[in-house]
Structure 1
Amino acid sequence: MSAPRLVLEFDAEPWDYLAADEAIDVEHPLVQSVAAALREGDDVAYARAAFEYVRDEVGHCMDVCDRRVTWRASDVLEQKTGFCYAKSHAYTALLRAGGVQAGLCYQRLRSGDGFFVHGLVAALIDDRWVRLDPRGNKPGIDVHFSADEDRLAYVPDPAAGEVDYPTVHAFPHPAVLEALQTHTDALAMVEKGQLPSAL
């Protein structure tokens, strides 16, 4: 859904939003080959193709009941599964591999009596930073690409304690990365409340 415009903040230098690290492994052969296969037209067309690829070809582990926990972009693309954070790592890596600046954003959302952190992507497309959510569609969630406005699966409700974090991170937030790297069962992480609850 379309979201209210958020004033974004950045935690790194512009070139860092094209850089690689352990999770956003831009230079991995699989990331490079998928990017090359999708690279047609201008940056907008490429960003759309990469978005639709990650949204549609990589299953959200909760939607498809896949217990595997992925966190490295190349593993997400190879295993075709992951939490929202992992899918965001994959989309960010593909964007950077195609020369499009991108970073990671987060939201704090309510689930019952508690909260969980949701991951998404911000990309510099056509001289405008937009936030995009490649988590995948399901009943009640229908997210599409836009080069003009934020398109998010969830719009946080401040009255419920939900938060739209304004920072665009060049690399995954440590709390998110630690949760993904220290667990091996995605479904159990949700059942036991082991997802990050705040940043």
Structure 2
Amino acid sequence: MEKYLESSKYIDWKTPEIVSLAKRIASNKEIDAEIAKACFVWVRDNIKHSSDYKLNPVTCAASDVLKQGTGYCYAKSHLLAALLRANGIPAGLCYQRLSIYENGAPYCLHGLNAVYLNDFGWYRIDARGNKEGVNAQFTPPTEKLAFPIVDSNESDFSEIWHSPLPVVVDVLGKYKTYDEVLSNLPDIDIVKNSINNQ
């Protein structure tokens, strides 16, 4: 579990501002699920999604997301992981591949989190921010994510990464405004297993 607790370039939880906020969120809470839920709700509801609110600058590192108060789903997941790790709760990054316009190509990655809870094991949460048609919640053991998988070219990746995918940080580092990122959202190809009918 150590790698899911480490502080790194993008999940830089040892910065004083993140440590302070993490402890404030966790105050008067003892159970890991209560702390995790409070961190999740804080990021979901207090950090504005860059595209939803048309906000700059583009953020990536957890400390920048907190400082600027905005981020794409990927950046918000970095901050949530940082707050959880600052409270000693293992947290990782997860991804889905989704249709951007919900009707086929083009596709993009969507970033979310997995948190390790003592009573439930790994549990995925999505702090991208709710809006009409999006209602992500913290209800272990049942997942209530922002987006369902509805298309055969979409994917719900089962991996839990301890650090962001390079394609994600490349996009967030290359583009300076929310609309540039929106026009160049990261994506990866999925490999499908072929079954030969005999």
Does the aligned pair in 2 maintain the 1:132–1:146 contact within 8 Å?
no
RMSD: 1.2
Q: Which runs of 5+ in 2 are unaligned?
A: 190-198
Match of 2:164 in 1: 172
Determine helix, strand or coil for the equivalent of 2:137: coil
Q: Distance in 2 between matches of 1:57 and 1:89?
A: 14
Q: Distance in 2 between matches of 1:111 and 1:52?
A: 25
Establish whether residue 55 from structure 1 lines up as the match of residue 49 from structure 2. Answer: no
**C-alpha distance after superposition, 1:81-115 (max 9, x if no partner):** 00000000000000000010010000000124300
Establish whether residue 111 from structure 1 lines up as the match of residue 100 from structure 2. Answer: yes
Establish whether residue 129 from structure 1 lines up as the match of residue 133 from structure 2. Answer: no
Establish whether residue 198 from structure 1 lines up as the match of residue 188 from structure 2. Answer: yes
Larger RCO, structure (CA 8 Å, separation 6 or more): 1
Q: Which runs of 5+ in 1 are unaligned?
A: 1-13
TM-score computed with the length of structure 1 as normaliser: 0.88
Shift of 1:158: 4.3
TM-score computed with the length of structure 2 as normaliser: 0.89
Q: Distance in 2 between matches of 1:111 and 1:54?
A: 23
Determine helix, strand or coil for the equivalent of 1:145: strand
Determine helix, strand or coil for the equivalent of 1:137: coil
Match of 1:36 in 2: 23
Does the aligned pair in 1 maintain the 2:81–2:113 contact within 8 Å?
yes
Establish whether residue 78 from structure 1 lines up as the match of residue 67 from structure 2. Answer: yes
Higher-Rg member (1/2):
2
Does the aligned pair in 2 maintain the 1:126–1:147 contact within 8 Å?
no
Deviating above 4 A after TM superposition, structure 1's stretches of 4 or more consecutive aligned residues are: none
- The one of 31, 45, 51 aligned to 2:34: 45
Match of 1:6 in 2: none
Q: How many residues align?
A: 183
Match of 2:137 in 1: 144
